[in-house]
Amino acid sequence: MFDALSEKLELAWRKLRGQDKITETNIQEALREVRRALLDADVNLQVVKQFIEDVREAALGSEVILGVTPDQQFIKIVHDELVKVMGEANVPIAQAEQSPTIVLMAGLQGSGKTTTCAKLALYLRKQGKKSLMVAGDIYRPAAIDQLKTLGQQIQIPVFDLGKADPVEIARQGVETARQQGYDYVILDTAGRLQIDLEMMAELERIKAAVQPHEILLVVDAMIGQEAASLTRAFHERLGITGAILTKLDGDTRGGAALSIRQVSGQPIKFIGVGEKVEALDPFYPDRMASRILGMGDILSLVEKAQEEIDLGDAASMAEKMMTAQFDFTDFLKQMRLIKRMGSLAGLLRLMPGMGKISEEQLQKGQDQLARAEAMINSMTPEERRNPDLLARSVSRKRRVARGSGHKLEDVSRLVSDFQRMRDMMRNMGMGGGFPGRGWGLPGRDPSWRGRSAASPSRQQPSPKPGKGGSKKGGSNRGFGSK
């Protein structure tokens, strides 16, 4: 799901990639792409306008984060704003002080009300709560049977009075639940093709009669743009307390999720993700934001980078790289940092576009790093500081090979790769192509970091900004990757 939206947004990130920081100018275009993507995804225009303004403000006011690139940082900002629009945290279903908690389902025809009654009852049972479902749709011929069948399937009782007055059915259903000690009573109601006044009036009467604790608007995610006006109409008449967004498993464009909260101020509480009765999940704004952005889990990468990277360490590493003093000891540090941040496989999966990397490729990369580490561990401290010692001496290389259980040519390749990379850094006057590059780790782009607000005292006269850092394909150039 949300594929269309995330593909569009991918463009926005791409435009920021290779830039060295977020500025008024380069953000213009990225914002335009975000705007277009959201509109294409059927997000309501008003919602989009407000959203873009919020993102612009947040982006321009943001501090550079060490170890992540501007596009990654921008994604994080957009993500955080999405989370804000959708309501920060999950809001659980109401629980009345005195049982039963009365839940009224409302929504258009076919939005999933009846199915969701059963899903909710099942969900609540897993929380140890007993529910009674009430068949309040007397208009559609098979509606009562549909609810009963679902009830049998999950062994949840259904209260019905056949084709009686829906208000009376609701009243008696609630009364029965009260007498029989149910925790929840879930009222199914009739849907209509359009938001018609009669249906609203009936819902209002039911509301007045039973005073529900929870009025949940069931919205089919596929209605996109329409979600805004639908939500408004129901909220004005009925005062909804929340929403359930259904059919998110289908090929939807996701816009509805953004509109509901914005328009009503009420949270989405659950999402329907399939036809089966088990297919109901609590709604988490942050997860939904990640899904909309389709960026794997790049946000946790940014957060990890924020947490894990020792700022001082990163800055001195950058200095070393600029003066090409980077040695095997630093390399080892970098690798340990990668390890601390989780497995290489895990890390790569967090990267946009890396989701499809094969298990085999991942394993290979991981093995290569492990091999390099083993070899470096077999070096003397002197050799680590001065890789040229190894380059000049076959017997040293042979010792390292033996000590680490590798072949002589493995060690030779590690050393020559390392030297080549260091020469390259020296030539550019700055870092490039060492492990960690392209993974958003320190050293990715020292010129950017050099200007970081977090280390003003370490500012360097920035050498040819971005050159090494923006070249494509560098991340494949690590040790032993030939």
Ligand X SMILES: Nc1nc2c(ncn2[C@@H]2O[C@H](COP(=O)(O)OP(=O)(O)OP(=O)(O)O)[C@@H](O)[C@H]2O)c(=O)[nH]1
CB of 100 to Mg ion, least distance (A): 21
CB of 220 to ligand X, least distance (A): 8
8 Å CB contact between 365 and 346:
no
Looking at 64-72, 113-121, 354-362, 387-395, which segment touches ligand X (CB under 6 A)? Answer: 113-121
19 belongs to the binding site for Mg ion (CB under 5 A): no
The alpha helices in 127-273, defined as continuous H runs, are 143-154, 166-179, 197-210, 226-238, 255-264
Choose the contact partner of 109 out of ligand X, Mg ion, none; CB within 5 to 8 A by kind: ligand X
CB of 219 to ligand X, least distance (A): 10
Looking at 3-11, 209-217, 244-252, 384-392, which segment touches ligand X (CB under 6 A)? Answer: 244-252
By CB under 6 A, the count of residues binding ligand X is: 21
- The upper half-sphere exposure of residue 383, i.e. CA atoms within 13 Å in the direction of its Cβ, equals 19
Looking at 73-81, 108-116, 337-345, 460-468, which segment touches Mg ion (CB under 5 A)? Answer: 108-116
Find, among 87, 74, 67, 73, the residue nearest to 30 by Cα.
74
SS3 labels along 47-92: HHHHHHHHHHHHHHCCCCCCCCCHHHHHHHHHHHHHHHHHCCCCCC
Q: Judging by DSSP bridges, how do beta strands 131-135 and 184-188 pair with one another?
A: parallel
Q: CA 327, CA 478: separation in Å to the nearest integer?
A: 14
189 belongs to the binding site for Mg ion (CB under 5 A): no
Helix (H, G, I), strand (E, B) or coil at 438: strand
| Binds ligand X (CB under 6 A): choice among 40, 175, 249, 327 | 249
**117 vs 376 by CB, closer to ligand X:** 117
Choose the contact partner of 319 out of Mg ion, ligand X, none; CB within 5 to 8 A by kind: none
Choose the contact partner of 474 out of Mg ion, ligand X, none; CB within 5 to 8 A by kind: none
Looking at 88-96, 110-118, 407-415, 419-427, which segment touches ligand X (CB under 6 A)? Answer: 110-118
8 Å CB contact between 258 and 43:
yes
Spatial strand order of the sheet with 101-106 comes to 158-159, 131-135, 184-188, 101-106, 214-220, 242-246, 268-272, 280-282
Q: CA 212, CA 219: separation in Å to the nearest integer?
A: 19
**109 vs 172 by CB, closer to ligand X:** 109
**Contact set for ligand X, span 128-167 (CB under 6 A):** 137, 140, 143
Q: CA 466, CA 20: separation in Å to the nearest integer?
A: 7
| Binds Mg ion (CB under 5 A): choice among 114, 252, 460, 475 | 114
DSSP one-letter string for 214-251? EEEEEEEGGGTTHHHHHHHHHHHHH---EEEEE-TTSS
**100 vs 136 by CB, closer to Mg ion:** 136
Looking at 79-87, 106-114, 236-244, 320-328, which segment touches Mg ion (CB under 5 A)? Answer: 106-114
**217 vs 344 by CB, closer to ligand X:** 217
254 belongs to the binding site for ligand X (CB under 6 A): no
**Contact set for ligand X, span 163-222 (CB under 6 A):** 191
**C-beta nearest to ligand X: residue:** 191
279 belongs to the binding site for ligand X (CB under 6 A): yes
Looking at 32-40, 247-255, 299-307, 334-342, which segment touches ligand X (CB under 6 A)? Answer: 247-255
8 Å CB contact between 432 and 441:
no
8 Å CB contact between 266 and 235:
yes
**145 vs 367 by CB, closer to Mg ion:** 145
113 belongs to the binding site for ligand X (CB under 6 A): yes
The full length of the chain comes to: 482
User: How distant, in Å, are the alpha carbons of 137, 358, 461, 482 from that of 214?
Assistant: 18, 46, 61, 62
The site for Mg ion (CB under 5 A) is made up of 113-114
Residues that bind ligand X (CB under 6 A): 107, 109-115, 137, 140, 143, 191, 246-247, 249-250, 272-275, 279
